[in-house]
């Protein structure tokens, strides 16, 4: 793998440059090797992100062809709920198809590009160390910074490729309001935000010894950046300036075409990446910065019961999501009061509200927040419900199922944690949102309303669990398909109103059947039906698992 690395020329270089270059020896080879490993994965990411953008641009062109239609779009966007989900209001001043991309799509794409970059970096750093492959690689002629450097370079390659693909694709479409200069900037906003989160991952990959922990921390940073910009765009603009996602949205691409906010991103990316290199010198290969702690000599009573054991395995993820969702609820809740005050042009807002079906500005805003809360909880639920699959592939299910623990009880305990955990997350998010919202809007009755609105999504979460369990029971290798449920729910819930998707597309998602509380009224039958579907799917999944071979290493 490192065959191309030339032996060091000791005579010609000074001692300092030598140590510096030695630390990066083999980086080029590792980058090429990484590109080879990721050729399919990376291509899929780049194609999906590019095609998604181009398809949205085409939709905008078709939906908002006339100035009147664009004015109507401005009207529907000029509400706190819409701004929290999209971007700063300044885009509305010249709402062309290009401005719509910058306003509505950019923030959403920033999250996805960030996700791609984080996964690339952790996959080529922490995951390599955790699986022990790094040890093998590092024992060859490879410098101690080479793996992190090559991971960051891989992320840079992917992000630059995405920038160019977007710039070329958008220019080639020749849509009114999407010029070549703007398209180029639009592409590079993606590269800039991708590099920021690659740098973040370079830091988190040093802190913990686990890939999931490293990715999780970096994803939490993306979440914080998103919530900061959402709060800033609705309320105090300064909050948005704390968020790199806010920075790229403030290029006002296709409106003002400012390039300088990208310099902020590059600066932050360089700083975090450099910090990652510094941190990596303070730890051993395979270890995190936090030393491994010793634990208990014997197991507690709870741990030796199936449910207690499953809960212990899920504990970290559940606590992380709980803290994140609660925080998200509090942040959205704290701007609920401002949202109600934002009404300027009463007539237009009423029109927009009629489309969402809400009765007040605050209620329609709350309804939108619930969609996001439910999707985040669904992400947790899929992770939790696929945990048995991870245990099985890792070979850790085998010794357990060779004891007096039946397959039903083993799988059932994980399912129970997923069902209860998902519901608890909704309660937490609803509580955070309700308490902060009640404080900011001065209406104590909101607490119960908003908790109820969040919990109404529980049956849809249970169906999501059911889908994952069904796949695990009958088609274990296709378990990852369960991710389609939250991704589809997000696309339909987020882009649905913007792209005016037909109702049947909404109805394909379990989340599409949940009553839109608090804007709409309570509706029991769909919730009961969803619960019954969830129970059916779970029972079927258990049945399949009882009948199949356990996959062993």
Pick from 127, 266, 135, 139: which is nearest to 205 by CA? 127
Q: Is 266 exposed, middle or buried (0-12, 13-18, 19+ CB in 10 A)?
A: middle
Confirm if 152 and 202 have CB atoms less than 8 A apart. Answer: yes
Look at the alpha carbons of 389, 393, 395, 398 in this order and tell me if their dihedral is positive or negative: positive
Nearer CB in complex with other proteins: 333/476? 476
Shortest Cβ distance from residue 213 to other proteins (Å)?
A: 11
Give the number of other CB atoms < 10 A from CB of residue 331: 20
Site for other proteins contains 406 (CB under 8 A) = yes
DSSP 462-504: HHHHHHHHHHHHH-GGGGGGGGHHHHHHHIIIIIHHHHT--HH
Site for other proteins contains 132 (CB under 8 A) = no
- With a CB cutoff of 8 Å and minimum separation 6, the contacts of 20 are none
Using alpha carbons, list the distances in angstroms from residue 277 to 5, 19, 175. 22, 14, 43
Check whether the bond before 518 is cis (ω within 30° of 0).
yes
Using alpha carbons, list the distances in angstroms from residue 500 to 109, 368, 491. 19, 15, 12
Pick from 201, 216, 425, 445: which is nearest to 316 by CA? 216
Site for other proteins contains 502 (CB under 8 A) = no
Site for other proteins contains 306 (CB under 8 A) = yes
With residue 530 as reference, give the H or E element that holds it: helix 524-547
Which window, 307-315, 374-382, 449-457, 496-504, contacts other proteins (CB under 8 A)? 307-315
- The residue from 3, 67, 399, 521 that contacts other proteins (CB under 8 A) is 399
Confirm if 385 and 465 have CB atoms less than 8 A apart. Answer: yes
CA angle 254, 255, 259 (to 5 degrees): 70
Residue with tokens 């985040």: 376
Site for other proteins contains 357 (CB under 8 A) = no
Site for other proteins contains 549 (CB under 8 A) = yes
Give the number of other CB atoms < 10 A from CB of residue 224: 17
Site for other proteins contains 395 (CB under 8 A) = yes
DSSP 375-401: HHHHHHHHHHHTHHHHHHHTT-HHHHH
Kindly write out the interface string for residues 199-218 of this chain, putting x where it contacts other proteins by CB under 8 A and - elsewhere.
----------xx--------
Nearer CB in complex with other proteins: 351/551? 551
Looking at residue 1, the DSSP 8-state letter turns out to be -
Site for other proteins contains 416 (CB under 8 A) = no
Which window, 135-143, 184-192, 396-404, 489-497, contacts other proteins (CB under 8 A)? 396-404
Which window, 29-37, 291-299, 376-384, 460-468, contacts other proteins (CB under 8 A)? 291-299
- The residue from 220, 400, 455, 520 that contacts other proteins (CB under 8 A) is 400
Shortest Cβ distance from residue 475 to other proteins (Å)?
A: 15
Q: Is 451 helix (H, G, I), strand (E, B) or coil?
A: helix
**Tokens linked to 212:** 């999931």
Site for other proteins contains 296 (CB under 8 A) = yes
Nearer CB in complex with other proteins: 66/403? 403
- The residue from 6, 40, 292, 346 that contacts other proteins (CB under 8 A) is 292
Nearer CB in complex with other proteins: 258/547? 547
Shortest Cβ distance from residue 130 to other proteins (Å)?
A: 8
- With a CB cutoff of 8 Å and minimum separation 6, the contacts of 4 are 28, 29
Residue with tokens 């605050």: 362
- The residue from 405, 439, 455, 539 that contacts other proteins (CB under 8 A) is 405
- The residue from 55, 270, 289, 394 that contacts other proteins (CB under 8 A) is 394
- The residue from 3, 7, 67, 404 that contacts other proteins (CB under 8 A) is 404
Residue count, binding to other proteins (CB under 8 A): 35
Nearer CB in complex with other proteins: 297/344? 297
Shortest Cβ distance from residue 311 to other proteins (Å)?
A: 12
Looking at residue 302, the DSSP 8-state letter turns out to be G
CA–CA distance, 13 with 21 (Å, rounded to integer): 10
Using alpha carbons, list the distances in angstroms from residue 235 to 131, 337, 432. 45, 10, 18
Nearer CB in complex with other proteins: 246/473? 473
Site for other proteins contains 283 (CB under 8 A) = no
Shortest Cβ distance from residue 100 to other proteins (Å)?
A: 46
- The residue from 16, 293, 344, 525 that contacts other proteins (CB under 8 A) is 293
Shortest Cβ distance from residue 397 to other proteins (Å)?
A: 9
Look at the alpha carbons of 454, 456, 457, 458 in this order and tell me if their dihedral is positive or negative: positive
Looking at residue 549, the DSSP 8-state letter turns out to be P
Site for other proteins contains 284 (CB under 8 A) = no
Nearer CB in complex with other proteins: 10/402? 402
DSSP 430-446: HHHHHHHHHHHHT-TTH
- The residue from 297, 344, 503, 521 that contacts other proteins (CB under 8 A) is 297
Nearer CB in complex with other proteins: 9/549? 549
Which window, 218-226, 301-309, 412-420, 500-508, contacts other proteins (CB under 8 A)? 301-309
- The residue from 5, 401, 505, 540 that contacts other proteins (CB under 8 A) is 401
Pick from 368, 350, 369: which is nearest to 359 by CA? 350
Confirm if 473 and 541 have CB atoms less than 8 A apart. Answer: yes
Nearer CB in complex with other proteins: 144/210? 210
Site for other proteins contains 66 (CB under 8 A) = no
- The residue from 14, 16, 66, 298 that contacts other proteins (CB under 8 A) is 298
- The residue from 51, 299, 508, 532 that contacts other proteins (CB under 8 A) is 299
Nearer CB in complex with other proteins: 347/549? 549
- The residue from 37, 290, 396, 477 that contacts other proteins (CB under 8 A) is 396
Would you tell me which residues interact with other proteins (CB under 8 A)?
A: 209-210, 292-299, 303-304, 306, 309, 312-313, 316, 394-396, 398-406, 547-550, 552-553
């Amino acid at each position: 793998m490192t065959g191309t690395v030339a032996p060091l020329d000791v005579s010609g270089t000074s001692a300092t440059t030598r140590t510096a270059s030695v630390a990066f020896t083999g980086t080029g080879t590792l980058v090429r090797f990484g590109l080879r490993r990721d050729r399919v994965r990376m291509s899929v990411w780049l194609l999906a992100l590019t095609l998604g953008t181009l398809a949205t641009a085409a939709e905008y062109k078709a939906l908002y062809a006339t100035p009147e239609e664009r004015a109507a779009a401005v009207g529907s966007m000029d509400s706190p709920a819409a701004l929290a989900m999209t971007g700063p209001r300044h885009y509305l001043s010249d709402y062309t198809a290009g401005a719509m991309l910058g306003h509505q799509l950019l923030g959403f794409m920033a999250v996805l590009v960030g996700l791609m970059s984080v996964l690339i970096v952790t996959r080529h750093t922490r995951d390599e160390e955790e699986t022990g492959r790094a040890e093998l690689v590092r024992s060859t002629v490879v410098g101690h910074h080479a793996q992190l450097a090559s991971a960051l370079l891989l992320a840079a390659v992917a992000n630059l490729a995405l920038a160019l693909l977007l710039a070329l694709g958008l220019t080639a479409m020749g849509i009114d309001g999407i010029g070549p200069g703007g398209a180029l900037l639009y592409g590079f906003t993606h590269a800039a935000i991708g590099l920021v989160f690659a740098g973040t991952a370079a830091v988190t990959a040093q802190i913990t010894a686990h890939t999931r922990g490293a990715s999780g921390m970096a994803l939490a940073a993306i979440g914080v950046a998103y919530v900061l910009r959402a709060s800033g765009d609705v309320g105090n603009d300064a909050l948005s300036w704390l968020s790199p996602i806010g920075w790229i949205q403030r290029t006002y691409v296709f409106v003002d075409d400012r390039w300088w906010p990208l310099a902020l991103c590059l600066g932050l990316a360089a700083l975090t990446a450099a910090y990652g290199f510094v941190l990596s010198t303070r730890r051993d290969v395979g270890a995190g910065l936090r030393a491994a702690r010793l634990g208990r000599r014997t197991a507690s009573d709870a741990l030796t019961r199936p449910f207690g054991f499953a809960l212990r395995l899920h504990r970290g993820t559940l606590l992380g999501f709980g803290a994140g969702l609660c925080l998200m609820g509090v942040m959205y809740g704290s701007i609920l009061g401002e949202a109600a005050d934002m009404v300027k042009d009463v007539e237009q807002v009423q029109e927009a509200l009629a489309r969402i079906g809400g009765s007040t500005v605050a209620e329609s805003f709350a309804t939108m927040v619930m969609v996001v809360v439910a999707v985040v909880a669904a992400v947790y639920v899929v992770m939790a419900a696929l945990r048995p699959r991870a245990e099985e592939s890792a070979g850790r299910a085998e010794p357990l199922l060779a004891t007096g623990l039946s397959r039903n009880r083993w799988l059932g305990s994980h399912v129970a944690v997923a069902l209860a955990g998902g519901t608890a997350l909704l309660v937490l998010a609803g509580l955070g949102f309700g308490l902060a919202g009640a404080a900011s809007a001065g209406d104590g009755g909101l607490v119960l309303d908003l908790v109820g609105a969040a919990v109404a999504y529980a049956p849809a979460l249970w169906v999501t669990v059911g889908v994952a369990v069904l796949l695990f029971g009958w088609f274990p290798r296709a378990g990852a398909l369960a991710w389609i449920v939250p991704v589809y729910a997000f696309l339909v819930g987020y882009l649905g109103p913007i792209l005016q998707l037909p109702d049947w597309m909404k109805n394909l998602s379990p989340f599409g059947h949940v009553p839109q509380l608090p804007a709409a009224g309570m509706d029991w039958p769909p919730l009961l039906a969803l619960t019954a579907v969830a129970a059916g799917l779970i029972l079927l999944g258990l049945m399949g698992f009882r009948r199949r071979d356990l996959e062993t290493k």
